[in-house]
Structure 1
Amino acid sequence: MTLTGETTDSRPGRTRPAFARTPVLLIAGVAGALLLVASRNYGFSFDEAYFVVAGRDHPAWGYFDQPPLVPFVAAGLDHLFPGSLMALRLPATLAAVGGIVLSALIARELGGRRVAQTVAAAAYAMSGATLICHYLATYSIDPFFWSLILWLVVRWTRVRDDRLLFAAGLVTAVSLQTKFLVPALWVALAVASLVFGPRDLVRRPLLWAGALVATLTTVPTLVWQAANGWPYTRMSEVVAAEFPGTGPFLLELLSGPGLVIGVPLALFGFGRLLAARDLRPYRFLGVAFLLLIVAYLLTSGRSYYVYSLYAPLFAAGAVGLQDVKWPAAAKALGWVLVAASILQALVALPIYPKSWAERIPDVPLVPLTAKVFVQSDGQLGQLSDAVVKVYAALPPEQRARTAIMTDSYAFAADLQLFGAERGLPNVYSAHRGYFYFGHPDESVDSVLFVGDASPPVAGAFARHQEIVPQLMTVFSGRTVAWDALWPRLRTQ
């Protein structure tokens, strides 16, 4: 499994080109450096704050909305490097760098020479799969695991070394600690391989040995899910409720790879996996990807799920371009498109001072820009300033019996992360995953509620005082026991 040198393929007449070490690692290094710079800006995202609080204050084998890996990693890094966004986001940065290299390695397995490997790596570096690695999140880490699994499967298809399938099972085990989505990949691969070959993929004992490892390592989080009524199934309802519709979904699907180069390259690669003669042994990949995209659409999934498929799509497209004899005009146009793609990526990366980023104009069909990151990331911490003032203004006797509650897990994580050192007590919310973190003690008979209080909240207290309309209200004189009230407050 070396990365350099010529290796004869198991099929006559094909060799594996040398790994394009210099250009690929240069692209990966530049992308990683830019992400490190971007990681310092512009503050925690809502999800990152939630991950830190969940892993630090409520460690568990599972959560409402994900397995335990990302909260554990977030809490560990925040403990080692308190408040450091660069450290917190380092795993996502490394995932992006790994995805770039894997795109080139998949192109190499498909017969891609130096240029094809470089194009595949560059396309991944300028795609949404790299841009989202500005954040530490399940959706920024998981594309790397999928890309690694797909590289192992592609390599197995060529060399038939079953140890690769076992390794893919081990990677699947880690992916299952990040998101529960990867079984869909294996189902699609199994169905496609049984129809289009290689039909012996599902008959390899080491594949099932790897699957057993993945299953066993997932048992603790499955036990947690079962003990708590399978809350992750409710998350699918949340995702479906946020589905934008078929048209917007497809538009988001096309904007993710990068409009200038990424979209045509990914579509070309998709078509080649389905129909190109030189990629016939890998046709099952194209069919599997088609099954996955249809499944995401039918189940009202999120468009960024497809980010996990970019590496092989870019690789297949790049390999198809390497032997084309381009006229001079086409080459010139190609360099213009490359420059435009780089510009698009630089507009999106949050690497600028806040004052500069705020002046970036809105760009049609480009959903994420540095301006968007400023608007979203810069909000955390501001809310805690206002809540600290209101809470401190309460009479001391009442303050001792008052908890802070919010209508959103995002507000709760914000206040817990930024307010604890400023005198705020533990924060509670019945929204999504925060519901499972529990309710206040029975000694608490009033709450400072942040957000828009629901009727069950208002109805459980005898008195209320609105401090900031539709944002902060003090409820006092609780009339219902917390154990009875808490299930009524759950929202998602």
Structure 2
Amino acid sequence: MDRERDDAPRELPRFALGPVAALAAVFAAVLTVLSGRYGYHRDELYFLEAGDHPAWGYVDQPPLTPLIARAATEVFGDSAAGLRVPATLAFLAVVVVVALVARELGGDRRTQVLAAGLAGVSAQPLAVGHLVSTACFDLLAWLVICWLTLRLLRTGDGRWWPAIGLCVGVGLLNKYLVALLVLALLAAVLAVGPRRVLRSPWLFAGAAVALLVAAPNLWWQADHDWPQLTVAEGIGTDDGTENRLLFVPQQLIYLSPLFVPVWVAGWLRLWRDPALRWARATAVAYPLLCVLVLALGGKGYYVVPLLLVLLVAGCEPAVGWTRRHGRAWPVVAVVVTVAINAAVTLPVLPQSALTVPLALNKEQGEQIGWPELADAAEEGWSAIPVRSRPRAVVFTSNYGEAGALDRYGPARGLPRPYSGHMSYADWGPPPDSMDGPVLVVRQEDAGGTRRYFTDCRQVARVDNGHEVENEEQDAPVLLCSGTTKPWSRLWPSLRHYY
């Protein structure tokens, strides 16, 4: 029998607009000041080039993030700081939505501000919030869906389904992972209720809205034989075992080890508190989502949005604890968390001091050394006789290197780069008439690339100048006399997805 109760509150506490807005302003100032301190991330360089090749889809992603990257540079300037304005705005929206989730769970103004603050200084939101990435906008989409779902469950008003469907559709235009959240939430509601929301005819309207919004990209993927599935399969094959082994430890650090008691208390509150019986599905959805991600070999950060919901739910017990035991230890925990998470996720340290942060967050290092890579390519290009350059090609092993040469190469007299990686493969190959020398920029471990070219010799090596051990540090630059086959015949072999 479906024993659902209608005791969910209809009235909510006032929203702490002023304090939350002030908190968001502080975060905005910090992120803006730091936004140009290092340089572009490899993915940002790729998004910039993808945005210059607008399409309804790309082999490894839907179109939203590249289009946002293109719009950002048009509106805010063609720089790393200008590009990252939408990421900052998305981060601020995350802070506000977290406060709205706290309000939805009955949190007063103090609890709302605490929830927004803890979420804002958590590691994963900071890590993705200061860079333009699919994960940045994915985090926002998931949290908005969770907030609207809580509102649906609390009120029982099926008219929230179309709004949820709209957010799901937009999320699908950014990253398909949002489908895992939908599955987990639906299964959780079916398991523990309130099931009446699943009987609403508005559910079908919401599903139709989601499909309508996502349809152009889904059509593109179908028309191109679903390359996204090939990419996902490759990630699971290459990284699945490591992702599964690291999954549980990552759950402990993705917000902060010192916040673990808070989100554990939040899970217990959602599961046990009779006043939140209507929201119990969110407690069930978290372990369900963990099982889905583990089964697929996905990355641990995929479940962070639901982890944030648990953190929010734990803020009210945390406020009660501080009233009984004092604020000293909680304040120390927050201060330590801010110091550690800022050093690990934000560009606050000198580039030469990133050895320790890189052990926890390698993405820090992926923002360093791209102009120096272009310098190395320029050095290699200078070894090509001037008369041979019109027929010469610059080829890179991955989209980060190609994106860097697209960005920094023209100022150094370099031609357009080519690559077989991800969607760069769709923007090539070079004409067969370009049968002269080939300048190959490749990662240190990308040895397989060399077999496609003849008479290769090393003419330069990448050095970022800070001894940062990222993927391109010490990458060789090779000068080859030509290719083993014409480019048109060679290109299918050069295409790769991971």
Q: TM-score, normalised by structure 1?
A: 0.89
Superposition pairs for residues 214-293 of structure 1, below 5 Å?
A: 214-240=210-236, 241-243=238-240, 244-260=242-258, 262-293=259-290
Of 465, 480, 485 in structure 1, the residue corresponding to residue 485 of structure 2 is 480
Superposition pairs for residues 280-319 of structure 1, below 5 Å?
A: 280-319=277-316
Moved more, 425-434 or 240-249: 240-249
How many Å separate the matches in 2 of 1:60 and 1:88? Answer: 19
Amino acid aligned to 1:175: G
- C-alpha root-mean-square deviation of aligned residues, in Å? 2.6
Identity across aligned pairs (percent)? Answer: 35
Structure 1 unaligned segments of length 5 or more: list them.
1-8
Residue 99 (structure 1) aligns with? 94
Specify the SS of the correspondent of 2:480: strand
Distance 1:429 1:334, change over 3 A: same
Superposition pairs for residues 71-150 of structure 1, below 5 Å?
A: 71-127=66-122, 128-150=124-146
Superposition pairs for residues 364-403 of structure 1, below 5 Å?
A: 367-368=360-361, 375-403=365-393
Residue 178 (structure 1) aligns with? 174
Specify the SS of the correspondent of 1:467: strand
Contact preservation (8 Å) 1:266, 1:317: yes
Contact preservation (8 Å) 2:418, 2:429: yes
How many Å separate the matches in 2 of 1:189 and 1:102? Answer: 18
Structure 2 unaligned segments of length 5 or more: list them.
462-474
Moved more, 478-487 or 98-107: 478-487
Distance 1:82 1:478, change over 3 A: same
1:414 matched to 2:408: no
Contact preservation (8 Å) 1:103, 1:315: yes
Of 384, 405, 428 in structure 1, the residue corresponding to residue 418 of structure 2 is 428
How many Å separate the matches in 2 of 1:198 and 1:179? Answer: 28
> Alpha-carbon deviation of 1:462?
4.6
1:448 matched to 2:439: yes
Contact preservation (8 Å) 2:61, 2:174: yes
Contact preservation (8 Å) 2:263, 2:311: yes
Residue 53 (structure 1) aligns with? 49
How many Å separate the matches in 1 of 2:389 and 2:9? Answer: 79
Moved more, 317-326 or 212-221: 317-326
How many Å separate the matches in 1 of 2:484 and 2:296? Answer: 42
How many Å separate the matches in 2 of 1:253 and 1:106? Answer: 21
Distance 1:322 1:403, change over 3 A: same
Contact preservation (8 Å) 2:435, 2:486: no
After superposition, give the CA deviation of every residue in 1:336-375 in whole Å (9 maximum; x if it has no partner).
22222233344345354x64x64478369x824xxx6664
Residue 458 (structure 2) aligns with? 466
> Alpha-carbon deviation of 1:398?
1.3
How many Å separate the matches in 1 of 2:446 and 2:281? Answer: 50
1:26 matched to 2:19: no
Residue 465 (structure 2) aligns with? none
> Alpha-carbon deviation of 1:425?
1.4
After superposition, give the CA deviation of every residue in 1:372-404 in whole Å (9 maximum; x if it has no partner).
666431211111012123213311221111111
Specify the SS of the correspondent of 2:160: helix
Specify the SS of the correspondent of 1:235: helix
How many Å separate the matches in 1 of 2:458 and 2:138? Answer: 43
Residue 3 (structure 1) aligns with? none
After superposition, give the CA deviation of every residue in 1:257-280 in whole Å (9 maximum; x if it has no partner).
1122x3221222123223332221
How many Å separate the matches in 2 of 1:23 and 1:444? Answer: 61
Residue 207 (structure 1) aligns with? 203
Moved more, 212-221 or 118-127: 212-221
> Alpha-carbon deviation of 1:441?
0.6
Specify the SS of the correspondent of 2:418: strand
Q: TM-score, normalised by structure 2?
A: 0.88
Specify the SS of the correspondent of 1:242: helix
